[in-house]
Structure 1
Amino acid sequence: MVRPSLDKHHPEVFKSYLATARTVRSAAHDAGLDRRLLELVNLRASQINACAYCLDVHAKAALDNGETYRRITLLPAWRESNLFDAREKAALALAEAVTLITDETRRDEAFNWAASHFTKDQISALNWTVITINAFNRVSVLSQHKVRHDD
């Protein structure tokens, strides 16, 4: 059986997701969050969800916003790396906790860590960012979106 491409079969729903993503990005910007940090969060959630399409999109966006190839490469090992500062590590912990939502202890620890580095508005915007990328990961994985060979 061929899976339906969700964005093609219900384009109005997908367009609303795209509008949501723009609104979330705007809220994060208004809360004072750097786009580079948001792209790290998007990448980390996409790594956990094994979404090749979103990894490709957000790696390019991260590089376009000043991220380095080295840090992107080391992102799965962010806890062991000294290339990420405490604030970034708190955001990445939150991204993992929201993506792997069934671990309540991890979630509580991540929220406490985030509270020492971010305002409530920023934590909310980070959560919305992770929720949004998780939704896009699922749409892309279930629709079998392919990475484009445009290099």
Structure 2
Amino acid sequence: MTEKRVHLAKSAPSAYASLDAFAKEVGRVSSDYGIDDRLKELVQLHCSQLNGCAFCVRVHVNAAKKAGITMDELGQIATWRESGVFSERERAALELAEEFTFIHDGGVRDDVYGRVGSVLSEKEYIGVSWLAISINAFNRLAIAGRYPVPPLSDSE
């Protein structure tokens, strides 16, 4: 049986509202910097998978499908390096998402920075980076609180 945890978002609603406003601003900036909904959802979903955040994975699977990502592509995210279904730009964003998720392993390594920077524009790099920072914060909130996985969307 899972112990009941403090619900951080409900316990400090102003802090959560600030995090939510931050995420909305990041979404706006990333869109302004050339990150479309498809790429945004690939990044957020991959970070959530890597962190083991079932709550955020469910949220972003639903959003990814709305953004036009197919079931086959969803299944291939975990194997994006070997999969042939993602564009060079998408692979660069997925790799950068990994670097931000595992930032404790030495930051964004120079070889990754160079590789990703040769594919993404500076603005796209900035947009993907902020998306990864934002979703990693939400992953930590949901995982620490053991938030229950939300139901599937109505289109299931």
Structure-1-length-normalised TM-score:
0.94
Distance 1:28 1:106, change over 3 A: closer
Q: Secondary structure at the match of 2:44?
A: helix
- Equivalent residue for 1:109, pick from 102, 111, 114: 111
Structure 1 spans left out of the alignment, 5+ residues: none
| Residues 34 and 123 in structure 2, CA contact (< 8 A), matched pair in contact too | no
Paired position in structure 2 for 1:93: 95
1:1-151 superposed matches below 5 A: 2-104=4-106, 107-149=109-151
Determine helix, strand or coil for the equivalent of 2:126.
helix
Q: Which moved more, 1:109-118 or 1:41-50?
A: 109-118
Deviates more, 1:97-106 or 1:27-36: 97-106
* Structure 2 segments unaligned to the other structure (5+ residues): none
**1:150 Cα deviation from its structure 2 partner:** 5.0
Q: CA deviation at 1:35?
A: 1.1
**Structure richer in helix, relative to its length:** 1
Matched-pair contact (CA < 8 Å) for 2:45–2:61: yes
Secondary structure at 1:139 match in 2: helix
The percent identity for this pair of structures is 38
Compare 69-78 and 97-106 and name the one that shifted more. Answer: 97-106
Cα shift readout 1:73-129 (whole Å, capped 9, x = no counterpart): 111000000001111111100000110013338632222122111121211111110
What secondary structure sits across from 2:47 in the alignment? helix
Distance verdict in 2 for CA 1:72–1:150, change over 3 Å: closer
